Amino acid sequence: SIIPSSDAKGRHSAQAERIRKLYPELETLSDAERRAMQRTFRERKRNRMLELHPELATLTNEELSAIRREYRQRKREKKQERIRHLQEQFPYVDIVAIQQQRRLERRRLHARQCPVLSPTMTLRTLFGSDIGYQGFSFDVTNLSSVPITITGWSFNISTGVTVTGRLFWRLGTASGFERILAGWTKLGNDATAMSAGLDNPTAFDFGQDFTIMPGQTIGFSGF
């Protein structure tokens, strides 16, 4: 028998957690129903593989598993070799951080292209006009199992004025970082809007949507 490594166990646990977040209805299934679904999924996956590679039909399940493990290992080695090569060419660039940012951008693009899973909603925070400040900061945490995309922003502006606003975001809470520049990223472009009147929402178009992935907390600050 083959004993999974600690890395494999970690990957399997992370995959199971993602599945639970995406499909919470699976929690209502019995153990027998869940095992039946897993068997069906594995059988479909094996059939697709055999359609692409009919020569594998003569192999046992253990041999197929060994081939899959070897393929994943080679894929990881090629990725690590590519990262080492890039780091040698660009020693002052954080290649891993760039790749992580690209993966995040692909997830955001995928979230924008996905069909809408819930109605469009407006989230209203404190809207008072007597706070005495010309700026603000707040956090948004996605407690759902699907990405949330913010498509518009509205603020409380004094009557009869035209205002140019800027909005910044950071990964994690904004609390305690209001006076620290590091970690903040500007969202889109500056936006200019004519006030819709005191205590009325004035819409600002920064030219960019913002997607918050499940479980993420994003801090926002603007002025």
Q: Half-sphere exposure of 16 toward its Cβ, with a 13 Å CA cutoff?
A: 9
Cα dist from 186 to 115, 167, 174, 210, whole Å:
27, 6, 14, 11
How do residues 55-105 score in pLDDT, each as one tens digit?
777 877 788 788 888 888 888 888 888 888 877 877 776 767 777 777 777
Separate counts of helices (H) and strands (E) for the chain = 4, 10
The conformation of residue 90, written as its DSSP 8-state character, comes to -
How do residues 45-69 score in pLDDT, each as one tens digit?
777 777 777 777 787 778 878 888 8
Q: What is the pTM of this model?
A: 0.46
How far, in Å, CA of 98 to CA of 91, rounded? Answer: 13
Q: What is the pLDDT of residue 127?
A: 66
Identify which has the larger pLDDT, 106 or 140.
140
**Model confidence at 10: pLDDT above 50:** yes
CB 175 within 8 A of CB 156: no
How do residues 154-181 score in pLDDT, each as one tens digit?
888 888 888 898 999 999 899 888 888 8
Among 138, 212, 143, CA closest to 175? 138
Q: Which two tokens stand for residue 206?
A: 């920064």
Identify which has the larger pLDDT, 151 or 17.
151
